[in-house]
Structures are given as structure tokens and as C-alpha cells.
Amino acid sequence: MALYNFKKITVVPSAKDFIDLTLSKTQRKTPTVIHKHYQIHRIRHFYMRKVKYTQQNYHDRLTQILTDFPKLDDIHPFYADLMNVLYDKDHYKLALGQINIAKNLIDNVAKDYVRLMKYGDSLYRCKQLKRAALGRMCTIIKRQKQSLEYLEQVRQHLSRLPTIDPNTRTLLLCGYPNVGKSSFINKVTRADVEVQPYAFTTKSLFVGHMDYKYLRWQVVDTPGILDHPLEDRNTIEMQAITALAHLRAAVLYVMDVSEQCGHSLEEQVELFRNIKPLFANKPLIIVANKCDVKRIAELPEESQKIFESFEAEGFSVIETSTLTEEGVIQVKTEACDRLLAHRVDTKMKGNKVNEVLNRLHLAMPTKRDNKERLPFIPEGAVARKKRMEVDTPRRKLERDLEVEMGDDYVLDLQKYWDLMNASEKYDKIPEIWEGHNILDYIDPDIMRKLEELEKEEELREAAGEYDSEPESEDEEMMEIRQLAKQIREKKKLKILQSKEKDTRGPRMPRTAKKANIYLTVFLQVQRKVLEKEMTELGLDMTNKDDAHYVRRSRSVTRKRKRDESETPKSVARSRSSSRPPRDVSGLRDEKMVKKVKTMAKKAQKKMNRLGRKGEADRHIFDLKPKHLLAGKRKSGKTQRR
């Protein structure tokens, strides 16, 4: 089902705008800088890109236009006919055909010039070719000026057409101009169609929507039709005829009984007879409008006979007056009912129903005894239904109560509880936690007791009971307190000192201090400083040779047993408290040091000879050397190369 949303068609630009748009887009979106000395393939690519980009843009835009505009063969025949009436089918198809041709021409131009550009051997030549290609494409578009203008106008008009759904329930109003069709639709729906005393006020179709029996109905208002043969009809009348011909709707033929529209009753009847073929298979109602001016009963005999003949033929005639709204509802209900019945009939006769009917089966229970079992409708439902029709006042709501009581209002939901014993509604419910009733643990006097306690405490505080006593501490505590105070002070001083310390020079790691001989002396001195400070503070620092901060020589710590070595003589004895350098660490004596050195050198020889970066470097610079793999012995299995 094609979309009836004609509002989504892209804007069709005018020829001049189209050209400007595309060319400026090409200029903005493709690279702009190129020089003579660039390589020729780069120059070619640059200009080819521009040609292709322009072609792509034109192609895309034109394709979008072609796809957005509805194809007259794909949409509902009502819309196809309407568009034919309004825009002329041939012109429309031609315009779109021209656009299609233009698109193909542009593609061909681009193809040709891109092919030619491959032979361009200078910047000037490529540039001229690009200029010629773009110029040609723009000329093609310039030639389509008329088609583009026409399509833009069609698009604008199309987007303003009323959205009439041809498949849903519709009521169609038709008749002479000025008989009251637009007034009718204004009364029945929310549409606001212009109503004026001159003929052809309504120049196109209008749609209004209304509700009936919980369904949505469309009411279509048409321009008036005059009585002349089909060929003589103008565009406005043809729209009405199209609607009559294609929409499966209930037709309301509106007649002006009072002949205020300017046409006599006989003319109206004549028109009716002429367009009767269009009413085939549609429920028809004849609406005798403007009955407030003249009723049918007041008409002369011949006119009354006309209406009687209508009745005889089976068309119901209803008198209405859009001014006094008499009969309007009646027309609506009758038309809707008849249309619904008609639609149901059509569906029953159609093919789709059979598929469903075969599968539908209404099961009736078999009677097992003679007892009558009627359907049960609760009283409340019946009463409600009755009330809906009569509109009795409803029961009093909480809101009403609230409004009444104002500030005193308290929401009391307990009154709605449905208990066996109505007097228990306002009883207190016990609160239980972990098997205990909370109420048991509440002291009724607790608030009073709390107050008394607080008063007592205040008195005590005022009396000074909670002030701390200085004499309660013994000697030990006093000492400890004093020491702690001293330590705190010293700590603060030290922090200040370290902040002021001037850290110039590189910060050596901790181990470096040990390797440095001057540093070791300094650190030894530091031990003395430390001990002195601590004694100042009052600590006993006499037997502190085993303390952790004392630097020990190696002989004190090591105790390992080794064979085939000289007497234990540490190589770094000269500096007993320093750390040995890395190349002699872990070695006992000179002999071992020498051996280790030669081993290291030997291991390095192969690596250096092969020019390797390290042990793990296995890179081969020349995997397939030519002198080995060329010549007579090049391929195949050869054990020696």
C-alpha cells in the first residue's frame, strides 16, 4: 500500500539553484589545491574526483526526486484519478521522464570525460576536461528548467491535499453548488469549511472526521456539480466526480428544497438521474436541506410526487436544516448504519471471509437436564448502565469531604474496612518485633524520668564533678607524660630542620652511601650523634652494639663453608664496612675473579664476531643470498651451499 503521505516529497530546486548548489558543493567538499609539478596520476585523480563528485550529486538528487514522487500506477486509483484531474497525467509522466533522461545523460557525460582524463598528460589538459564535463552536466540541468518548475508546483499542491483514506468508512456529500453541503459537514464534524452565498465556494475536496459507535468516520465535502455532460466538466467538478467514482462511501445527495441555491427542483432531480450510475453499490440517502425555509409538505403536488417516487425507489429521504440542526443527527445515524451494514455484507460476500469462516465454530453446550440456566448479569452492572443513561449524582468522594472540612480533614481509611465485627474498626493493632510485643517494653513514665535525669546531670556538672583531678596520677604517669611531651617537641624540631635542609646535588640511593668511603665514615659518625641525642632525651644507649642501626662488617655475618679456596680473605677488606662492586661481588678471591672475567669475555666473542646486539638477537639480514640461490645449483635439494 503506497503511502498517502505526500508531505514527505523532497523539495525540487529550480534549475539555477540546483546548478549553484551542486557546483558550490563540489567546490567545498573536494580538495582545492593542486600544482603543476605534482605527479600526473595525482593531478588526474584530483580532477577525476571532481567530475565524479558532481555527477554523484546530481544523480543522487535526481534519483531522490524520482523515487519520492508517487507513481500513478502504484497508488490507489482514487488518488491516481485525482492527480490526473489536477495535474494532467501525461504532463506529470513526461516531466518525470525528462528528469530520468537527464540523470542518464549526466552519468554518460561523467563516464566519457573520466575516460578521456586518463589520457591527460598535463594539468592544463585535465583542468580543461573537467571544466568541459561540469559545463556539460550543468547545461543538461539547465535544459530541464521547465520540468523542475512544474514538479515543484505539483509537489507543493500535493502536500496540501487532504488525506482521505479510500478504504475506511466515508460519507460523501454531493449535489448542486450552494445547497448546504459545507454547512452540513461543519455541523457534523470539527471541520471548518468556508460557507458563502456564492456558488463554488468549495473548490476542492475537504475532509472532516467524526465518531459514531466508537468508530472513526470520514466525511468528505465536494465542490458542487452542475448538470452538463462529462466532457464539459471543469477541474473543480471533476474532483467531485472522481471522489464519487472511486470512494466506496455512503452518498448523501443534498437537495435544496427551497430552491435558494438558484436551481429549481427539477434541475436537481435531473442531475440526480444523470449521475445515478455513479451511485451503484453505494448506500444512498437523499437529504432535503433548508427545510426551515420550506418543508416538503409545503411544496406543490408535482414536487411532492418527486419525493414520493424517490421513496418508492427505495432511497430514504430525510428533511434537514443545517441552520436549526433538525434532522442532521438522523441523517448521520442512518447513513452510518447503512454503510456499516453494507460493508459487513460486502465482506461476507468476499473471499477473505471464507478463510476465517471455515475455522470459526460457535460451540453451544449440550443440555444435560431441563434446568434453565440464564445468563447472569450482576445488579450493579445493570444499575450502572441505567445510571449512565440517566446521569444521577454519584456518591460522595473523599475529595468532597476534604473540601468540606478544610483544615480539619484527616484521611481515615479505616472506615472503609470490611470486618465481621464493625465495632473493631478503630481498634489498635499490636506491633510485634522478634516475637516480643513492643508495648511491653515501653515504660509509661519514661519521659518524666528522662527529664529528671537531665536535671540531675546539669546540677552535677555545675558542681564540678566531672572536672579532671591533677593529683590522681602517680609518679610513673607523670614521668611518662613528661617524656612524651619532650619527644613530641623534638619531633617537631626535627621536621622543621629537615624542611630547611639544603638538598643540593644528586640524591644518591641508599646503597651508594655504603660504597662511598667518606660516606661510611660520616655514617659512623652519625651513629655517635644518634646515641648522643638519645641519651640527651633520657634513653639508656650503652649496650647498643647489636642494635639494628649499627653497620656491621661482613665477617660478622657470613659463615659459609667452601672448598678449594684460599683462606677467607674478602677482597674488599680495605673497606670493611662497604659493599663490594658488582663485578667482584659473590667471589672469594683473585683467582676466581680472573676466571670469571675470562669466561665473560669468551662468551662475548661469538656475539661480537657475528655482529649481534645481544644474546637474543637472531635476526638474519640476508635470508636468501643471491650467490647461493642462483645459478645452476640454485633450487632443489642441495646439502651444501
Distances from the Cα of 62 to the Cα of 55, 56, 74, 277, 512, angstroms:
11, 10, 20, 43, 82
Q: Which stretches of 247-294 are DSSP H helices?
A: 265-275
**Residue of 66, 72, 132, 353 that binds other proteins (CB under 8 A):** 132
For other proteins, the closer of residues 126 and 285 by Cβ is 126
Q: Which three cell numbers stand for residue 47?
A: 580532477
For other proteins, the closer of residues 108 and 437 by Cβ is 108
SS3 content of the chain, % helix, strand, coil (to 5): 55, 5, 40
Q: Is 142 near other proteins (CB under 8 A)?
A: no
Closest approach of other proteins to the CB of residue 127, in Å? 9
For other proteins, the closer of residues 126 and 207 by Cβ is 126
Chain centroid, CA 78 distance in Å:
36
**Residue of 85, 86, 110, 129 that binds other proteins (CB under 8 A):** 129
- Mark the segment that binds other proteins (CB under 8 A) among 37-45, 120-128, 323-331, 481-489: 120-128
For other proteins, the closer of residues 10 and 27 by Cβ is 27
End-to-end CA separation in angstroms for the chain? 79
Each as own residue / partner, the long-range contacts of residues 346-349 (CB below 8 Å, 24 or more positions apart, any chain) are none
**Among 306, 303, 302, CA closest to 294:** 303
Whether the CB-CB separation of 53 and 22 falls below 8 Å is answered with no
Angle at 417 between CA 413 and CA 423, to 5 degrees: 110
Positions 274 through 313 that interact with other proteins (CB under 8 A): none
- Mark the segment that binds other proteins (CB under 8 A) among 121-129, 139-147, 385-393, 592-600: 121-129
Cα separation, 218 vs 170, whole angstroms: 5
Q: Indicate the pairing of strand 436-437 with strand 432-433.
A: antiparallel
Q: Is 107 near other proteins (CB under 8 A)?
A: no
Residue 6 one-letter amino acid: F
Cα separation, 337 vs 356, whole angstroms: 24
- Mark the segment that binds other proteins (CB under 8 A) among 89-97, 122-130, 262-270, 365-373: 122-130
For other proteins, the closer of residues 39 and 511 by Cβ is 39
Cα separation, 17 vs 461, whole angstroms: 94
Q: What is the dihedral of CA 416, 421, 427, 431, to 10 degrees?
A: -90
Count of chain residues binding other proteins (CB under 8 A): 16
Closest approach of other proteins to the CB of residue 607, in Å? 43
Name 315's Cβ contacts closer than 8 Å, sequence gap at least 6.
284, 285, 286
Name 100's Cβ contacts closer than 8 Å, sequence gap at least 6.
62, 66
Closest approach of other proteins to the CB of residue 167, in Å? 50
- Mark the segment that binds other proteins (CB under 8 A) among 91-99, 108-116, 211-219, 446-454: 108-116
- Mark the segment that binds other proteins (CB under 8 A) among 60-68, 125-133, 169-177, 327-335: 125-133
Site string for other proteins, 1-40 (x = CB under 8 A): -------------------x---x--x-------------
For other proteins, the closer of residues 19 and 247 by Cβ is 19
- Mark the segment that binds other proteins (CB under 8 A) among 129-137, 423-431, 466-474, 611-619: 129-137
For other proteins, the closer of residues 119 and 409 by Cβ is 119
**Residue of 121, 489, 590, 617 that binds other proteins (CB under 8 A):** 121
Closest approach of other proteins to the CB of residue 135, in Å? 9
Positions 145 through 174 that interact with other proteins (CB under 8 A): none
Q: How many CB atoms lie within 10 A of CB 367?
A: 9
Cα separation, 176 vs 319, whole angstroms: 17
**Residue of 112, 152, 227, 531 that binds other proteins (CB under 8 A):** 112
Closest approach of other proteins to the CB of residue 121, in Å? 6
Closest approach of other proteins to the CB of residue 118, in Å? 6
Query: Is 171 strand, coil or helix?
Result: strand
Closest approach of other proteins to the CB of residue 624, in Å? 22
Q: Indicate the pairing of strand 215-221 with strand 170-175.
A: parallel
For other proteins, the closer of residues 114 and 339 by Cβ is 114
Closest approach of other proteins to the CB of residue 146, in Å? 22
Closest approach of other proteins to the CB of residue 634, in Å? 20
Closest approach of other proteins to the CB of residue 54, in Å? 15
Chain centroid, CA 63 distance in Å:
28
In terms of residues, how long is the chain?
A: 641
Q: Indicate the pairing of strand 250-256 with strand 436-437.
A: unpaired
**Residue of 52, 59, 111, 125 that binds other proteins (CB under 8 A):** 125
Q: Which three cell numbers stand for residue 557?
A: 655475618
Q: Is 128 near other proteins (CB under 8 A)?
A: yes
| Interface ranges with other proteins (CB under 8 A) | 20, 24, 27, 112-113, 115-116, 118-119, 121, 124-125, 128-129, 132-133
